[in-house]
Each structure stands twice: as structure tokens, then as C-alpha cells.
Structure 1
Amino acid sequence: MWIELAQRLFDVVEPARPASPDDVDAIGTELGHEVPPDLRALLLETDGLHGRHGAALVHPARRIVDDNLALRRDPGLAELYLPFDQLIFFADNGGGDLFGFPALPNRPEVVVWDHETDSRHRVAGSLRDYLTRRAGGDGDDWYRR
């Protein structure tokens, strides 16, 4: 379902092998939050999605864990930004901004974290909506317009 959706939305899509259930479960275990159902389903179908020029539309399961833990554990970032432990980041725009799900409460909407302003705001109502908006956007900063 997710690969077919991405292929309809994007002119170039590079799916991957499915993530193992253990890799997907590690997101919840290591980050301490339930994995959003749509993200779980996508990763079990394809361990991440890449678009044109290798742009990461959705990161692989292991990168989701590693990136989120790095953000949460970096003392330098803790001095500059609000805590990241209420979000599960799963993608980026290629320029430093990150897309994620609110972890508490677990909601299907997608938010963007702006690394320059530390603002966090809703950009899509669901993972499907995020992919649709990203595909229809003009460039890496589609969510700013």
C-alpha cells in the first residue's frame, strides 16, 4: 500500500527491503514511545523511502532510532532547544529541519521542527497527508508556504 502510494505521488521512488519487526519494535523500545501505526506499517513494507537524488522521504527504522537518540542525548542541543523527547522524527528536508510525530499523546499528525527557530508546528494530518503534501510541494521547503 505505502509503496504504491509513493509511486503514484512521486516521479522517482526508491523503496527498500521491509524492516524486520524487531527493527520497528526497537523504535518504540529505545525511544520509549509507541510507534505510530502508519509508520509501523510503512516500515514493515519498506524500510524507508527515498525520492529523487536520494532525498529521504522516510528514514529507515535504525536511522529513526539513532537520529532521535542523538538529538535527545546531545548536551549542546539541550542548551539551545526545547526537549525532543516528545517527538519521533522520521524524515528531514535535507537542510536541517525534521519531520516527526507527536509522541505524547500519540497522534497521527506530522509536525516539522525548524532548526533555526526551534519552532514546531503541524504540517500534515497523517503520514499519507505528509507524503501527499511533500510530493505536491515546490522544493525542500514545501511546508513553509
Structure 2
Amino acid sequence: MWKEAAAGASPDLEFRAPVDAAALAEAERRLGRSLPGQLTALLKETNGVADGYGTDIVWSLDRVVEHNLQFWSPDTFPGLYMPFDPLLFFGDNGGGDQFAFVLTPERPDIFVWDHENDSRLWAARELKDYLHRSLLGEGDWYR
């Protein structure tokens, strides 16, 4: 379903081997929280999605884990940005802005974090909407 949803928006995509249940369980253990159901379902079909330019629209599971652990660490950006704890980053635009699910309170919406001004703006209703918007959009489609 997820590969078809992405391919419906753009035929020029890179899909990777799916993630197995053991890797997902280990990722959730390391993160100390569950992954959003939509992201888990996508990762079971493909370990990330890259567009025709090589931009990771959806990151690999390893990158999701490493990136979020870094951003959730209190020592990474002390006093520079608002806390990232409520967010789970999973993709980017190739220019520094990153996309995230909101974990607290849990909701299916996707937000974008602007790395230049630390704003967090609504970008899509849910993951399928995000795939379509990001793959069909030009430039900063989320603004």
C-alpha cells in the first residue's frame, strides 16, 4: 500500500528492502517509545523512500533512531531550540528542514521543523498526504 501510494505521486523513487519485526522492536526499545503506526507500516514495506534527487523523503529506520536520539539528548542543542521530545523526525527536504510526527499529544499530522528559525508548522494530515505533497510539490511546498 505505501509503495503504491508513493509511486502514485512520483514514478522516480528508490525503495529499499523492508524492515523486519525484530528490527522495529529493537528501534522502539532504543527510542523508549513506540513508532507511529503509519511509519511502522511503511517501514515494513520499504526501509525509507528517496526521491529522484536522492532526498530521503522517509528515512531508513536506523536514521530515524539515530537522529531522534541525538535530537532528544539534552546535551545536543542546549538552549538553542525548543525541546524536540514531542516530535519523531522521519524525513527531510534536503535543505535542512525536517518532518516529524507529533508524539505528545499523539496525532497523525505531520509537522515541519524549520532549522533556521525553530518554527514547527503543520505540513500534512497524515503520512499518505505527506508523501503526495512532498513528492508532487515544488521547493518549499509546505509553506
TM-score range relative to shorter protein: over 0.9
Match of 1:108 in 2: 108
Q: Distance in 2 between matches of 1:35 and 1:96?
A: 23
> 1:40 Cα deviation (Å)?
0.4
Structure 1 vs Structure 2 CA RMSD: 1.3
User: What amino acid is aligned across from residue 141 of structure 2 in structure 1?
Assistant: W
Query: CA offsets per residue over residues 55-110 of structure 1, 9 Å max, x none?
Result: 10100111100011111226251220011111100001111111000011221110
SS of the aligned residue for 1:57 comes to strand
Match of 1:10 in 2: 10
List structure 1 runs of 4+ shifted beyond 3 angstroms. Answer: none
Query: CA offsets per residue over residues 35-58 of structure 1, 9 Å max, x none?
Result: 111100000110101111211010
Aligned length: 143
Aligned-pair identity (%): 43
> 1:122 Cα deviation (Å)?
1.1
Match status 1:142 vs 2:127:
no
Higher relative contact order (CA 8 A, sep 6+): 2
- With the length of structure 2 as denominator, give the TM-score of the two structures: 0.93
Q: Distance in 2 between matches of 1:81 and 1:57?
A: 23
- With the length of structure 1 as denominator, give the TM-score of the two structures: 0.92
Unaligned 5+ segments in structure 1 are none
Match of 2:130 in 1: 130
Match of 1:26 in 2: 26
Query: Which segment is superposed worse, 6-15 or 40-49?
Result: 6-15
SS of the aligned residue for 1:78 comes to coil
